[in-house]
């Protein structure tokens, strides 16, 4: 651990494969969801600085959209240094204002999870070597999610629901985050 302007930082230089990285992302989402700051920040994003006028607040689609656009417009994309993997909590990533794809996933999934959504990620690769990760959010209704929407906040022209073309998704791992773990569709922890 080293000391930084925002507190202690753990640099993960022991990330040897994509599955380890996804497990670390799941742990950071869990830490972020447990931090009351994250829920307060998500509520502020939904309010947009104003009181919620509708009884019950905005619809699920509106909540997802507000979180997506807030992260896309306020958290720049930057790569980690060669040979290192920084995976922040949501609070740290928001304070820094710039993250790579796994940092974006932690922020998006943490904010949406504190609002009651089931979240996860899709990890893709065209060749099984070069991986990209982006958030997915299950919805409709929150209590029994039946659909998901892809939320890739790192791509220039992306919108909620956009996904990279099939050629970029030849290798794919889908996970859901729960209790600090990443679960595959078969229910097994990654």
Percent over 70 (pLDDT), the chain: 84
Q: For residue 55, what are the contacts with CB-CB under 8 A and spacing of at least 6?
A: none
**Which pLDDT does position 8 carry in this prediction?**
53
Which CATH number is 2-183 given? 3.10.620
Q: Tokens in use for 72?
A: 């896309």
- In the predicted structure, residue 71 carries a pLDDT above the cut 90: yes
Tell me how far apart the alpha carbons of residues 135 and 28 are, in angstroms, rounded to a whole number: 14
DSSP annotation string for 43-104: HHHHHTTS---STT-S-HHHHHHHHHHHHHHHSEE-PPPTT-B----HHHHHHHTEE-HHHH
Q: What is the mean predicted confidence (pLDDT) over 74-101? A: 93
pLDDT interval class at 1 (50, 70, 90) = very low
Domain segments of the chain as ranges: 2-183
**What is the pLDDT, as a whole number, of residue 48?**
82
Q: From CA 136, how far away is CA 113, in angstroms rounded?
A: 11
Q: For the segment 164-184, what is each residue's pLDDT rounded down to a tens digit? A: 999 999 999 999 999 999 999
The pLDDT mean for the chain works out to 87
- In order of 23, 32, 121, 178, 190, the CA distances from 26 in angstroms are 5, 10, 9, 8, 10
Kindly give, in sequence order, each residue whose CB lies less than 8 Å from that of residue 43, ignoring residues fewer than 6 positions away.
none
Q: pTM value?
A: 0.88
pLDDT at 2 (0 to 100) = 45
């Amino acid at each position: 651990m080293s000391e930084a302007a925002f507190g202690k930082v753990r640099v993960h230089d022991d990330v040897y494969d994509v599955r380890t990285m996804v497990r670390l992302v799941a742990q950071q989402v869990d830490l972020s969801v447990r931090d009351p700051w994250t829920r307060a920040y998500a509520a502020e994003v939904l309010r947009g600085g104003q009181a919620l006028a509708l009884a019950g607040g905005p619809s699920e689609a509106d909540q997802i959209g507000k979180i997506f656009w807030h992260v896309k417009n306020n958290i720049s994309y930057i790569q980690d240094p060669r040979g290192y993997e920084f995976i922040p909590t949501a609070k740290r990533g928001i304070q820094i204002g710039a993250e790579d794809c796994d940092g974006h996933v932690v922020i998006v999934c943490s904010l949406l999870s504190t609002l009651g959504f089931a979240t996860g990620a899709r990890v893709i690769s065209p060749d099984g070597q070069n991986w990209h990760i982006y958030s997915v959010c299950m919805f409709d209704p929150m209590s029994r999610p039946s659909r998901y929407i892809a939320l890739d906040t790192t791509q220039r022209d992306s919108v909620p629901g956009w996904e990279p073309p099939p050629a970029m998704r030849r290798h794919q791992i889908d996970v859901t985050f729960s209790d600090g773990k990443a679960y595959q569709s078969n229910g097994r922890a990654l």
